[in-house]
Amino acid sequence: MTARIEFRLNATDGKARTGVIATPRGDIRTPAFMPVGTAATVKAMLPESVAATGADILLGNTYHLMLRPTAERIDALGGLHKFMNWQKPILTDSGGFQVMSLSGLRKMNEEGVTFKSHIDGSRHTLTPERSMEIQRLLGSDIVMCFDECTPFPAEEKVALESMRMSMRWAQRSRDAFGDRPGHALFGIQQGSIFRDQRAESAEKLSDIGFDGYAVGGLAVGEGQEMMFDVLDYAPDMLPQDKPRYLMGVGKPDDIVGAVARGIDMMDCVLPSRSGRTGQVFTRHGVVNIKNARHQDDPRPLDEACTCPACRSYSRAYLHHVFRAQEMISGMLLTWHNLHYYQELMQGMRDAITAGTFEAFQAAFHAQRAEGDIEPM
Amino acid sequence: MTARIEFRLNATDGKARTGVIATPRGDIRTPAFMPVGTAATVKAMLPESVAATGADILLGNTYHLMLRPTAERIDALGGLHKFMNWQKPILTDSGGFQVMSLSGLRKMNEEGVTFKSHIDGSRHTLTPERSMEIQRLLGSDIVMCFDECTPFPAEEKVALESMRMSMRWAQRSRDAFGDRPGHALFGIQQGSIFRDQRAESAEKLSDIGFDGYAVGGLAVGEGQEMMFDVLDYAPDMLPQDKPRYLMGVGKPDDIVGAVARGIDMMDCVLPSRSGRTGQVFTRHGVVNIKNARHQDDPRPLDEACTCPACRSYSRAYLHHVFRAQEMISGMLLTWHNLHYYQELMQGMRDAITAGTFEAFQAAFHAQRAEGDIEPM
């Protein structure tokens, strides 16, 4: 694998972009949605089923994998792709976000962060250098810089200090990553909701130079309106010729709105997590399959959907197996949700290519407004 | 569907038999193992995956389905096959066994049994007539008589009274079932471990006349030795030209021993339940995937197995996802176990056809004895 990872922009429509990230493990069509495979599995799915939904790339969580089964073990077993039976590209996060949200007893300083495992209480340290090492051991195709996801809300001064430390960590990540043909390193813009900080962060990252750039520090409780406010300007500050990745987003309308603002990649646990809790995404909005209204309904979740759940099962069946707490419920509903998300991405890619993205957005919102759907 | 269900015996080897039960929904190759789809799903499996293991027929549980989602609802939705997306044959039990093992506050008399649902405490009655009606509403291809599974151990007099009531219920089941081309009704032999009672029961059932005959009242705690003692004579008492079904059996060596004694059909939750608890059946015996010895093991569960779990995953991965309580663990291990069971059945069918069943049995036991396998 000596080829470089390359981003080709094929079309734009307004700020929305469509293209391809070419990697030795296959092309990633953008805008791309990455299902989350936290612990070396997209929950309730076989990897061939994930691929069948149209996913070109998965996200793996460094924090979870370093604790169990450990990066060294995965490396000894041939890397994450082989371990989890997924041969297409994998992006790994840096571990920083999950350390803050999941682990206990953290101590952070300029060097990095020390924490206790949420699994067994064991003590671990993550630094930019260690995060790069772990992501290399995993065999990740797209590696993320180790950063601090600035909490929200943050005072301007606190956000500034946090962003500047993340920029120093970005340089250390870049230095530790080195030159690895066939593998990409993405920088992460911080700066909370402060435009001048976002600009400073973007400038610093482009000076260092990365293969792609993430908009970080969003989807952390600020709400869609404020997130869109930041996305109205933050992606424009990043290099035009590299992919832009919005981390941890989101609901279908978040995704459409982010693409409209120039985002190329996203990831979120929402479609898989919702699949396990009976919340289903459709063109007409959200269906809560546990509601008794579905118990005699012979219709599929969505007549127009071609996923296995919609092709072969009634709402009545899906209601029944959800209520009976059968595993097939999570399996089918996760499959449907991931299929829905990938169809949404394909629809956006087609519309951007055709120059009809504005009409696509209008139809997307109109269809949801007319639905007979429960509020989410 | 006007065709009759027919049993064709193709070969025998000692007492072991191989043949085909031809039904309008497809052939059932015997000896047949029926995976259990209690609540309209074989737990952790999609129906197409169950079919891919080689299963020709599933078992559904009348007790569970009558309570949730109810037989009337399944009928209104087009029957159990359509409801659960399984177009091959389905055998349903009568509900009697599970009423006794799962439900609360039972009252049994000559008429039938009244009980409280284990799900919501609601009150229900099962009689031979109602059981026939429910199994008709479900659309079952092979319907089981409503009987009392005589508890073990039972005093001779108690067993005799229980058996005779079951025979009266068998007649009522036969009368209520009527004539339904394309659907079969099986009688159930009782009589506990008492040879003369087994003979009386068999004679009574053949007088009534059924499309197949089950050996009932076994696998209820008597142990393999005593079960085999009964199977040394009980199947011989049943009509030679009809399929013989041993209910609720069993471990792989139970199954081989039962086939050696003239049994044609079996069902058991063991392969699917064990799959969810990390217990794996292989040619070499049982593997407990949760054991730490597997955590660095790059080998598959069984090099010779062609199931998805063995083709694409290491023991280390299967250990990891089991420990992480990921759903893919139950999905893959259940698939493997069902695949193993179906391969075992195919091996026996081939050996009986070839007249080498004795050698097959010897090899089966020798291979297990040499394994590096944990005790079960």
A301-351 pLDDT, tens digit per residue, is 999 999 999 999 999 999 999 999 999 999 999 999 999 999 999 999 999
Which tens digit of pLDDT belongs to each residue from A165-223?
999 999 999 999 999 999 999 999 999 999 999 999 999 999 999 999 999 999 999 99
CB pairs under 8 A between A and B: 102
Do residues B263 and B296 share a domain? no
CATH number of the domain residue B61 falls in: 3.20.20.105
| A241-262 confidence digits (pLDDT tens) | 999 999 999 999 999 999 999 9
Q: Are residues A262 and A285 in the same domain?
A: no
Does the pLDDT value for residue B374 go beyond 90? no
Q: How confident is the model at residue B9 (pLDDT cuts 50, 70, 90)?
A: very high
Distance CA B118, CA B115 (A): 9
* Closest residue in A to B77 (Cα–Cα): A298
Band the pLDDT of A3: cuts 50, 70, 90. Answer: low
**Is the per-residue pLDDT at B2 higher than 80?**
no
Together in a domain, B184 and B104: yes
Residue A368's pLDDT is: 84
B337 and B217 assigned to the same domain: no
Q: Which of B154, B190, B156, B142 is nearest to B170 (CA)?
A: B190
Residues A239 and A280 in one domain: no
Q: Is the pLDDT of residue B204 over 70?
A: yes
Instruction: Return the pLDDT at B368.
Output: 84
CA distances from B71 to A40, A149, B100, B339 (A): 40, 53, 20, 30
The reply to whether B186 falls in a domain is yes
Q: Is the pLDDT of residue A127 over 60?
A: yes
Average pLDDT over residues B354-375: 85
Q: Which of B83, B314, B323 is nearest residue A68 as measured by Cβ atoms?
A: B323
Q: Is the peptide bond before B235 cis (omega within 30 degrees of 0)?
A: no
Backbone φ and ψ for A256, nearest 5 degrees, come out as -65, -45
The closest CB to that of A331, out of B46, B69, B326, belongs to B46
Angle between helical axes of A327-354 and A270-277 (0-180°, round to 10) = 140
* pLDDT tens, residue by residue, B273-284: 999 999 999 999
Residue A69: which pLDDT band, with cuts at 50, 70 and 90?
very high
Q: Where does a domain end: B240, B268, B296?
A: B268
Task: Find the mean pLDDT for residues A36-62.
Answer: 98
User: Which chain A residues contact residue B317 at CB under 8 A?
Assistant: 40, 77, 83-85
Domain-located, residue A1: no
Interface check for B331 against chain A (CB to CB < 8 A): the answer is yes
Residue type present at position A354: A
Report H helices in chain B. Answer: 47-52, 62-67, 71-76, 80-84, 96-102, 128-138, 156-177, 195-208, 223-231, 252-260, 270-277, 308-312, 315-323, 327-354, 357-370
Q: Which of A56, A93, A254, A302 is catalytic?
A: A93
Query: Burial level of B221, CB count in 10 A (0-12/13-18/19+)?
Result: exposed
- Judge whether B1 lies within some domain: no
Tell whether A286 is within 8 A of chain B (Cβ): no
Query: How many CB atoms within 10 Å of residue B359?
Result: 11
Residue B52: inside a domain: yes
Helices (H) and strands (E) counted in chain A, each on its own, are: 15, 16
Q: Do A320 and B69 touch (CB under 8 A)?
A: yes
Check pLDDT > 70 for residue A226. yes
pLDDT at B73 over 60: yes
Residue A376 lies inside a defined structural domain of this protein: no
Query: Which one is catalytic: A141, A211, A267, A302?
Result: A267
Residues A223 and A105 in one domain: yes
Residue among B316, B319, B330 whose CB faces A327 most closely? B330
**Tally of CB atoms within 10 A around B125:** 12
Is B317's CB within 8 Å of A46's CB? no
Contacts (Cβ under 8 Å, ≥6 apart) of B39: A320, A321, A324, A326, B61, B64, B65, B68
Q: Contact A316/B83, CB-based, under 8 Å?
A: yes
Question: For residue A70, is it within any domain?
Answer: yes
Cα A336 to Cα A264: distance, rounded to the nearest angstrom: 23
Residues A33 and A165 in one domain: yes
Confidence of residue B258 (pLDDT cuts 50, 70, 90): very high
ipTM score of complex: 0.97
CB contacts, 8 Å: B78 with chain A: 298
- Flag whether B292 is in a domain: yes
What average pLDDT does this structure show over B186-191? 98
Q: Does A277 touch chain B (CB under 8 A)?
A: no
Measured between alpha carbons, how far is B29 from B350 in angstroms, rounded to an integer? 11
Residue A371 backbone dihedrals phi, psi, to 5 degrees: -65, 160
Percent of chain A at pLDDT exceeding 70: 97
Q: Per mean pLDDT, which range of A202-206, B118-122, B141-145 is the poorest?
A: B118-122
Separation between Cα atoms, residue A346 and residue B213, nearest integer Å: 55
Active centre residues of B (catalytic): 93, 267
- Identify the band that residue B1 occupies on the pLDDT scale cut at 50, 70 and 90: very low
Domain shared by B89 and B153, yes or no: yes
- Judged by a CB distance cut-off of 8 A, whether residue B104 touches chain A is no
Q: How far is A239 from chain B (nearest CA, A)?
A: 39
Spell out the residues 6+ positions from residue B204 whose beta carbon is closer than 8 angstroms to its own.
B167, B170
Considering the domain architecture, whether residues B205 and B284 belong to the same structural domain is answered as no
Domain-located, residue B238: yes
- A152/B372: higher pLDDT: A152
The total number of structural domains in chain A stands at 2
With beta carbons less than 8 A apart as the criterion, state whether B215 and B231 touch: yes
Last-in-domain residue among A250, A268, A286: A268
What is the distance in angstroms between the Cα of B186 and the nearest Cα belonging to chain A?
A: 28
- B287/B188 same-domain check: no
B308 in contact with A, Cβ within 8 Å: yes
Q: Is A267 a catalytic residue?
A: yes
Query: In chain B, what's the furthest Cα-to-Cα distance?
Result: 61
A45–B84: do the CB atoms touch at under 8 Å? no
Q: Which of A138, A289, A321, A331 to mutate to test the interface with B (most CBs of B within 10 A)?
A: A331
Is residue A93 among the annotated active site residues?
Answer: yes
Residues B192, B64 share a domain: yes
Q: Decide if B101 touches A, using CB distance below 8 A.
A: no
Domain that holds residue A349: 275-366
Percentage of residues in chain A with pLDDT exceeding 90?
Answer: 93
Confidence category of residue B348, pLDDT binned at 50, 70, 90: very high
Q: What is the pLDDT of residue A1?
A: 44
Contact A369, A361 (CB under 8 A): no
B44, B317, B331: residue with CB nearest A83: B317
A123 touches chain B (CB under 8 A): no
Which element (helix H / strand E) includes A134? helix A128-138
Q: Does A65 lie at the interface with B, CB-CB under 8 angstroms?
A: no
Q: Which of B268, B288, B318 is the last residue of a domain?
A: B268
Q: How far off is chain A from B108, nearest CA to CA, in Å?
A: 27
Residues B226 and B295 placed together within one structural domain of the fold: no
Q: List Cα–Cα distances, B55 to B20, B71, B87, B139, B185, in angstroms.
A: 13, 24, 12, 19, 21
